[in-house]
Amino acid sequence: MATFNLNINGKTQSVDIDPATPILWVLRDHLDLVGTKYGCGIAQCGACTIIMDGNAVRSCSIPVSAAEGTKITTIEGLSEKVDHPVQKAWMEHDVPQCGYCQAGQIMSAVALLENNPNPTDEDIDNAMNGNICRCGTYVRIKKAIKTAANS
C-alpha cells in the first residue's frame, strides 16, 4: 500500500492503494468515476481510454504508480455542461447503440483532435483503431469526429 496524489479532471485526489493497481480500477472502484469502462484488461479494446498528459492511453494497463504527477482527464471531466464539441457531435449524430464502448471512443477522439485538429480519414482510422465497438457504430463515429473537427 502507498498513497498517491492524482490530478484527475482538474482535482487532486488522494488514494491509499497497491501501487500496481491499474488506473482503471482506481477510477472505478475507489473514486466512483465509472464512466471509464473495463473491456479486456490487456490494452486491446479501448473501453478504458483516458487522456493522460494530452495522450489517449489505456487505463487498464497503466499502474497507479505511473500516474502521479500527470494530468488525467476522464469522460466525466470533459465538460461541465455537456458542451465539449466531441460530446455535442456524438449527440448530433446519435452515435451510441449500447453505448458501452463510447466513453473510450470519445476520449480517443478528443485526444486525436487535440493533437490533430483536421484529421484525414486515415488519421481517424489510425487513432481510433484501438477502440472496438461490437455494435458497429464506426461509420457514425467517423462522421461525428469530422463534425467536431469542423466546429
Q: Which residues lie near ligand FES (CB under 6 A)?
A: 38-41, 43-48, 58, 60, 96-102, 133-135, 137
Q: Which does 36 bind (CB under 5 to 8 A by kind): ligand FES, another protein, none?
A: another protein
Distinct helix (H) and strand (E) counts, the chain: 5, 5
Taking the complex as a whole, how short is the minimal distance between the CB of residue 118 and ligand FES, in angstroms? 25
Beta-carbon contacts of residue 26 (< 8 Å; ≥ 6 apart): 6, 15, 17, 64, 67
103 binds another protein (CB under 8 A): yes
Cα 8 to chain center, whole Å? 12
Residue whose cell numbers read 473501453 = 47
What angle in degrees, to the nearest 10, is found between the helix axes of 102-115 and 85-92?
A: 130
Stretch that binds another protein, among 51-59, 69-77, 110-118 (CB under 8 A): 69-77
Interface positions with another protein (CB under 8 A): 1, 18, 20-22, 25, 28-30, 32-42, 44-45, 47, 74-76, 78, 82, 87, 90-91, 94-103, 106, 121, 124-126, 128-142
